[in-house]
């Protein structure tokens, strides 16, 4: 099975703004999937990523590069001026019970 992220960016997308979101990754641990180099002007920031795992186990795919861990992803994205203010939080098991 091939899994994609909670947000999937397609070929030649331009000038999308992905800000101020709460993004939860399930068992796939993939938050963003962008398998294409040809996309420009997309801005991502002030997002809050959640998972039932440590930040080092989250996956982000951007322009054909896979980042394992939020710290690695944020450092890579900062080179493009993205995700400077975004954060990651491990979701507490008790929070999941509240959602039911």
Q: Positive or negative CA dihedral for 64, 10, 58, 90?
A: positive
24-47 residue pLDDT tens: 998 889 999 999 999 999 999 999
Q: What is the structure's pLDDT at 48?
A: 96
Cβ-proximal residues to 72 (8 Å cutoff; 6+ apart), any chain: none
For the entire predicted model, the pTM comes to 0.86
Of 23-37, 47-61, 68-82, 83-97, the one with minimum mean pLDDT is 83-97
Residue 19 phi, psi (nearest 5):
-135, 155
What is the CB neighbour count within 10 angstroms for residue 47?
Answer: 20
Average pLDDT, the chain: 90
For the chain, domain boundaries: 7-99
pLDDT of residue 1: 39
**Candidate from 2-11, 17-26, 73-82 with smallest mean pLDDT:** 2-11
Q: What is the pLDDT of residue 95?
A: 65
Helix, strand, coil share (%) of the chain residues, nearest 5: 20, 35, 45
């Amino acid at each position: 099975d091939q899994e994609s992220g909670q947000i999937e960016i397609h070929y030649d997308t331009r000038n999308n703004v992905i800000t101020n979101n709460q993004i939860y990754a399930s068992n796939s641990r993939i938050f963003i999937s962008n398998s294409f180099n040809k996309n420009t002007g997309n801005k991502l920031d002030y997002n809050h990523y959640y998972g039932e795992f440590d930040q080092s186990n989250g996956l982000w795919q951007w322009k054909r590069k896979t980042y394992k861990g939020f710290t690695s992803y944020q450092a890579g994205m900062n080179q493009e001026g993205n995700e400077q203010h975004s954060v990651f939080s491990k979701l507490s098991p008790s929070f999941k019970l509240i959602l039911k």
